[in-house]
Amino acid sequence: MKIEAAELRVLELPMRFSFETSFGAQRRRFVPLLTLHADGVEGYAEGVMDHLPLYLEETLPGAVTFVREQLLPRVLGVDFETPEALARTLSVYRGNRMARAMVEMAFWDAWAKSLDLPLWRLLGGVRTLIPVGVSIGIQDSLEATREQALRYAAEGYRRVKLKIKPGWDVEPVRAVREALPDIALTVDANSAYTLTDTGALQALDAYHLKYIEQPLAHDDLTDHAELQARLRTPVCLDESITSLQGARKALALQAARVVNLKVARVGGHLEARRIHDLTLAFDAPIWCGGMMETGVGRAHNLHLSTLQNYTQPGDTASGSRYWDKDIIEEPLEAREGYQTVPPGSGIGVTLDLAFIDSVTRARHDVRPSAFPIPAEVY
């Protein structure tokens, strides 16, 4: 499949509500959207990096420049037989996994469309009905937290996740657990704690959580292993898992018993599939986290979630929860706590180009000679 041209946009989308985590509050998303043109089909993917390096090191301004001036010139005009061949070309670069994922995932979509197959079949998925949960940001009060949890439970979501931080942890968990004694309940700290906070995290053992997600620093497996040894509740790693080797070390060290496997964080579908197979070998369940994606990223997440070991409800809640209007034509809405993988070839969604034009803040049309790479980098 020869990649003939690419279009890279940056979209600005207002969110329906303020979503607060230990990093801060967010009211809008700037979304890099990539379209690859290859052999008469188009492949779509989006980036999940933020403007500031809060979640991980990559930033949106840096990623857009890197994709436009380095990654795309390497692949435009080149004929790749498989996604593996394209991934080998991109592997000369260290890190920048979210940026590389944009190109790899868009190629997967185009490749699946060229074969007239849904992406999940090429990935090796085993189901098309995906259990999903919901993530509740830090609220102004315990009552607001409880009310949101009750509303989402009534809508049928299979799991409720609460964002926590030091000083906002035991009390919101207690409030939700008392209101919903049987709901699958989890918490996500986004690296807000240290080992000195072990007592507060141990207090959460009393509330029968499915897991505590990313309590400590994103680059510290040793302390996570120490913490897991002190907790009854399983630790789930998110930001710490960026590669197959990182996942292997985390599981071997017993730094986690559950993995949040986000395709864009680990560089694309190939690496995600390798990590999936590793977690099967370790008997560690996985689930698909969310980065407040539009329908394009949500569709990719749903296709990946068809793999065998995605046994925990993911964060692929209804798109309408985040956006008044999505960038795709097809609504991706949960029903009774389940999402259905979009039917059709590729990721199964169609861009709403008129709406996308209205929210585009930057656009780059890239062709093979647009940004030639200096010979010394080969």
Instruction: Specify whether 210 is catalytic.
Output: no
pLDDT in tens, 114-131: 999 999 999 999 999 999
- Which pLDDT score is estimated for 20? 64
Amino acid letter at 301? N
- Which pLDDT score is estimated for 213? 98
HEC sequence for 310-334 = ECCCECCCCHHHCCCCCCECCCCCC
pLDDT at 71 over 70: yes
Distances, alpha carbon 239 to alpha carbons 82, 173, 225, 360, in Å:
28, 22, 15, 29
CB atoms within 10 A of CB 333: 12
Given the residues 113, 161, 210, 262, select the one marked as catalytic. 262
b/e sequence 311-329, b meaning 16+ C-beta within 10 Å: ebbbbbbbbebbbeebbbe
Given the residues 113, 161, 163, 210, select the one marked as catalytic. 163
Instruction: Specify whether 165 is catalytic.
Output: no
Share of the chain above pLDDT 90, in %: 87
Reading the block at residue 165, the tokens are 């931080």
- Which pLDDT score is estimated for 371? 52
* The overall pTM is greater than 0.75: yes
Rounded to whole angstroms, the Cα distance separating 139 from 162 reads: 10
Handedness of CA 353, 357, 359, 360 (dihedral sign): positive
CATH topology of domain 121-340: TIM Barrel (3.20.20)
Helix (H) or strand (E) holding 112: helix 97-114
pLDDT at 18 over 90: no
Rounded to whole angstroms, the Cα distance separating 126 from 143 reads: 40
pLDDT at 373 over 80: no
What mean pLDDT is predicted for residues 83-109? Answer: 96
Residue among 277, 272, 274, 228 nearest 250 (CA): 228
Amino acid letter at 243? S
pLDDT in tens, 206-236: 999 999 999 999 999 999 999 999 999 999 9
Residue among 123, 114, 105, 109 nearest 1 (CA): 114
261 vs 371 pLDDT, higher one: 261
- In the chain, domain spans: 3-116+351-377, 121-340
DSSP 8-class letter at 82: S
Matching CATH topology for 3-116+351-377 and 121-340? no
Is residue 376 very low, low, confident or very high in pLDDT (cuts 50, 70, 90)?
A: very low
- Which pLDDT score is estimated for 259? 98
- Which pLDDT score is estimated for 378? 39
pLDDT at 27 over 80: no
pLDDT in tens, 131-150: 999 999 999 999 999 999 99
Pick the CATH number of 3-116+351-377 from 1.10.10.10, 3.30.390.10, 3.20.20.70, 3.90.1150.10: 3.30.390.10
Q: Mean of the per-residue pLDDT values for the chain? A: 94
- Which pLDDT score is estimated for 102? 98
Handedness of CA 80, 81, 83, 88 (dihedral sign): negative
Cα Rg of the chain (Å, integer): 20
Rounded to whole angstroms, the Cα distance separating 2 from 86 reads: 11
Rounded to whole angstroms, the Cα distance separating 277 from 309 reads: 8
Handedness of CA 200, 205, 208, 211 (dihedral sign): positive
